[in-house]
Chains A and B, each alone.
Chain A
Amino acid sequence: METWAAIWKLTFIVVMAIFTGMSVWVIIGGWQDVRKLLAKLSEDSASADSDDQSSSADD
């Protein structure tokens, strides 16, 4: 029982430590990804709108 208790103690501490570090990394990097995603979608919307307008003009 002592061995299992030691294994779970160690596992819990290591996982929580990794999670803490990863959280900081993902929060910072994720915010940059959100901005990129919104910029790309805005760009796609703008280019689709301009395509619509040019095809209307061609008609």
Chain B
Amino acid sequence: MDPALQQALSRTNFTGWDWAIVAAYLVASLAVGLLVKRHVRDMATYIGAGRAVGAKLGIAAMAGTEMGLITVMYSAQKGFVGGFAAFHIAVASGLVTLVVGLTGFMVYRLREMRVLTIPEFYERRFGRKTRILGGVMLALGGILNMGLFLKVGSMFIVGVTGMAADSGALKLVMFGLLALVLVYTVLGGMISVVITDYIQFVILSAGVLLTTAFAIHHLGWNNIFETVAAEMGSKGFNPFESEGEFGVDYAAWMCFLGLVGCSIWPTAVARALAMESPEAVKKQFAWSSVSFTIRFMVPYFWGICAFVFIMTAAPDLKAVFFPENPDAAANNLYAMPVFLGRILPAGLLGLIAAAMIAAFMSTHDSYLLCWSSVITQDIVAPLQRREMPLKSRVFLTRVLIGAIGVYVLWWGLIYEGSDDIWDYMSVTGAIYFTGAFAVMFCGLYWERASSTGAVLALLSGSIAILGLGPVQEALGIAGRFTGAQVGLFTICFSLVVMVCGSLLCPDKRDPSTQEQPSSKPD
């Protein structure tokens, strides 16, 4: 690591008291995992918390899952480079989630069908082969998507605590966090996930409000806007300006990401499917629109504040993040944690670090549980000739949680790609959700949708990988298309093949055995 960056990162207000706050939180989390273990009796309890989660707990759990440390980090990076114009992503996400909550678009019908996972819906609507293929695409996109979570999350801890002065600290933090999250995810399943999500919401909401107030107090409300205007000009505010970070196609892509993020992304849908009734799902999504907005907007604001702090009050950091030679610039993912480490007082720093570790754990436990249960329930179990026993399912799910954890550690240590974290995530996620959107939308609302159309749509989602920089370079098409353009094309293409495949190859099924979403109240 560059000595100047090392010195800059080592300056922090983090003290022993802050470590004590973090340790107290971690002990409490483990205790919860152990306490709720005795309630796990079957797969429905392990994966879906017995479908007994109330609306307010569901909102807290949704916020706890979706405001992960990875979200905070990549969003702060977007705010740091894009200024207030990045706010359009938060607004799009919140508005789309509100519409889903008010209308129940897709999630209401899914909950009515009482399925545990999205591929289970594929099977009931399109057959077993579609379920297995859907499970493979889902696990592939999802596991690739979370590949950098551990590394980026650990960068926050290293940055805010000043541990970056030690070059081996990042790896140690990665090992420690992974071990912690694996233990209590394996122990308690969805029950411990939901309850720790609630605890996280309590700590996180207090930490978010206090930190934001502190940043504004430290930098000055007007100064933040004036500095962005002076340094970035209008592109720091107008998201549609073509010379800026974003643009019209990017904004359209963000609207679609907002829709799939709340209605198709399995970790969000898992929350919906664990709710006590379809009506509670609508309520959960309508209120979660606020936290879906906040989860982006607050980190953008922190990233903007880090930018303002570096440009106006920290010449040593300016030399590190904006050197004369741009190629020598430090990784701007460190900007926000270093900023917080310098402006927040001891005690509050501990609270924020605990909140962020909570956010990290909450996201990891949900994702680990989600992808491992998809592999068990939707790939392995349907391939068995006999019914897979419940004990074997829970055991396999726990083994897979460990295996995915090891992959995340390995990928974080070896991956050296130069992609923007948000672009990497949206492209890898799109492998799954572009095809899944076509399949779910048509499957839920179009009677003539067929399994051939579904298989073609799911496969066509893999086109989205063309949006990744290294893939474009390998194919010699680098710079010709943005990730947003590739993503938008993939959605349209998936919808077209879904419709064409269904019309050309309709299913020959006995109408009496065909399962449709029930219209009866739960």
Interface residues of A (CB under 8 A from B): 1, 4-5, 8-9, 11-12, 15-16, 18-20, 22-23, 25-34, 36-38, 40-42, 44-45, 48
Q: CB distance B59 to A30 under 8 Å? A: yes
Query: What 0/1 pattern do residues 206 to 229 of B give for CB contact below 8 A with A?
Result: 101100100000000000010001
A45 B38 Cβ-Cβ under 8 A: yes
User: B41, B60, B198, B209: which contacts A48 (Cβ < 8 A)?
Assistant: B41
Are B84 and A18 in contact, with the CB atoms below 8 A? no
Name the contact of A20 in the complex, choosing from B53, B209, B291, B293 (C-beta under 8 A): B209
| Nearest Cβ on chain A to B274's Cβ, whole angstroms | 10
Provide the bound-state CA to CA distance between A59 and B205, in Å. 54
Partner of B229, one of A5, A11, A38: A5
Residue in A closest to B294 when the chains form the complex, CB atoms = A19
22 A-B contacts (beta carbon < 8 Å): A1-B233, A4-B84, A4-B238, A5-B84, A5-B237, A12-B297, A15-B290, A16-B294, A22-B291, A23-B206, A23-B209, A26-B63, A28-B56, A30-B57, A30-B198, A34-B198, A36-B54, A37-B57, A40-B50, A40-B52, A41-B191, A44-B50
CB <8 Å contact, A15 and B297: yes
Top 8 closest pairs, chain A to chain B, by CB: A29-B56, A33-B54, A33-B57, A4-B237, A23-B205, A41-B39, A1-B234, A30-B60
| Beta-carbon contact of A41 and B52 below 8 Å | yes
From 409 to 459 in chain B, residues with beta carbon under 8 angstroms from any chain A beta carbon are none
B320 within 8 A of A: no
The answer to the question of B149 belonging to the interface, with a C-beta cut-off of 8 Å to chain A, is no
A27 touches B205 (CB 8 A): yes
Complex Cα distance, B202 from A29, in Å, reads 12
* Distance from A19 Cβ to chain B, minimum over Cβ atoms (Å): 5
Establish whether residues B229 and A44, one from each chain, have CB atoms under 8 Å apart when the complex forms: no
Within 8 A of A (CB), among B13-51: 36, 38-39, 41, 45, 49-50
Q: Chain A residues near B238: list those with CB within 8 A.
A: 1, 4
B260 within 8 A of A: no
Q: Residue B39 contacts which of A9, A23, A33, A42 (CB distance < 8 angstroms)?
A: A42
Q: Given the complex of chains A and B, what is the CA–CA distance between A22 and B208 in angstroms?
A: 13
Q: Which residues of B contact A32 (CB under 8 A)?
A: 54, 56
Return the chain B residue nearest A27 by Cβ. Answer: B202
Q: Which residue of A lies closest to B94 (CB)?
A: A15
A33 touches B53 (CB 8 A): yes
Whether A16 lies near B212 (C-beta < 8 A) is yes
Known: A15-B290, A23-B209, A41-B39. A30 touches B56 (CB 8 A): yes
Q: Which residue of A lies closest to B205 (CB)?
A: A23
B205 and A37 within 8 A (CB)? no
Task: Known pairs A37-B194, A41-B191; list 20 more (Cβ under 8 Å).
Answer: A1-B238, A4-B85, A8-B237, A9-B225, A12-B297, A15-B297, A16-B209, A19-B205, A19-B291, A23-B205, A27-B60, A27-B202, A29-B54, A30-B60, A32-B54, A33-B56, A37-B191, A37-B195, A41-B39, A44-B45
Q: Report the Cα distance A20→B208, complex, angstroms.
A: 10
Partner pick for B50 among A20, A29, A41, CB 8 A cutoff: A41
Cα(A51)–Cα(B297), bound, Å: 51
